[in-house]
Amino acid sequence: MSVPAAYLSVILIWTTTPLAIKWSCEGSHFLFAVTARMFMAAVLSLILLRATRTPLPWHRKARETYLVIGLSIYGAMTLTYWAAQFIPSGWISVIFGMTPIMTGLLAALLLGEKNLTPAKLLGMTLGIGGLAIVFGTGTVLDGQAGWGVAAVLGAMLIHCGTAVWIKRIDAGIPALASTAGGVTVATFLLQTTWIALDTGLPVQVTSRAAWSILYLGLAGSVLGFSLYYYLLKHAEATRVALITLITPVSALLLGRVFNNEPITPGVILGTATILSGLVLFQYGESWLCRERRATVIP
């Protein structure tokens, strides 16, 4: 696949995933929807491993990687699917847009990476301020919406923490193997939770929910992860980072058009603040460097 095609595919998948999550829970318990999705993703990823003859390492660091990814998917997906019952789908994308900022902060705190420049710190401040605005809007609209925002925030923090943890483990295994191992662990944990809570099978799954689960299992999980890793390998980091600036806005618009979800002034202001923070975090330092060079050169 060409890099532009992969780029557009990731934007499309990340834009549609929050709305598909919301639709997949129609007529059934959210645990059924997420478990069915992860089961399909696990089966597909194992098939792809075999088809591409990608090895599945089983040394200590590899097993630790699979466990960490599996726990991350289990925690983040459970919180996100639960929250999707109470908040508009676009909000999920807006909150997850904070991923680069939170990952950078955790990397500095846990890995000792000295990358917190003044521009990045200002970007973090704006991003957190934007989240506070969105959270405040949620609690004003509906108490359950406020808890939904908090749950997605927790899911995003789990996702960021896992990225830092995986970097610390540094197992050096193929991305597809990491995905397959992690998704398989997450599927086991989700199935165990589903059985333990005895939520049962849904009496009737709507056609929209069924198609959403199928889409998420096939495209929203394995394909989305694989294309993202492909872009990280073949595209400039700055171009990949732009995805987190595009998908929150496109997901909000998609939810509005296809699910009649409200876009309040508070959400618009919070989203704009978060995106401003992301722009500063990703590009602020390079802009300052160019300005300094332009000032020095006569």
What's the structural domain count of the chain? 1
What pTM does this model have? 0.87
Q: Report how far residue 191's alpha carbon sits from residue 34's, in angstroms, rounded to the nearest whole number.
A: 10
Residue 54 has a pLDDT of: 92
> By residue range, what is the domain housing residue 240?
3-296
Residue 118 has a pLDDT of: 81
Residue 209 has a pLDDT of: 94
Residue 44 has a pLDDT of: 93
Residue 116 has a pLDDT of: 72
Q: What DSSP letter does each residue of the chain carry, written as one string?
A: --HHHHHHHHHHHHHHHHHHHHHHTTTS-HHHHHHHHHHHHHHHHHHHHHHHT-----SHHHHHHHHHHHHHHHHHHHHHHHHTTTS-HHHHHHHHTTHHHHHHHHHHHHS------HHHHHHHHHHHHHHHHHHHHHHHH-HHHHHHHHHHHHHHHHHHHHHHHHHHH-----HHHHHHHHHHHHHHHHHHHHHHHT----S---HHHHHHHHHIIIIIIIIHHHHHHHHHHHS-HHHHHTHHHHHHHHHHHHHHHHH-----HHHHHHHHHHHHHHHHHHHHHHHHHHHHHHHH--
Residue 287 has a pLDDT of: 66
10-residue stretch averages of pLDDT, the chain, 298 residues long: 84 94 92 95 93 93 93 95 92 88 79 74 86 71 79 91 84 86 95 89 87 92 79 69 83 93 86 87 72 58
In this structure, is the dihedral angle defined by the CA atoms of residues 53, 186, 210 and 249, taken in order, positive or negative? negative
Residue 152 has a pLDDT of: 93
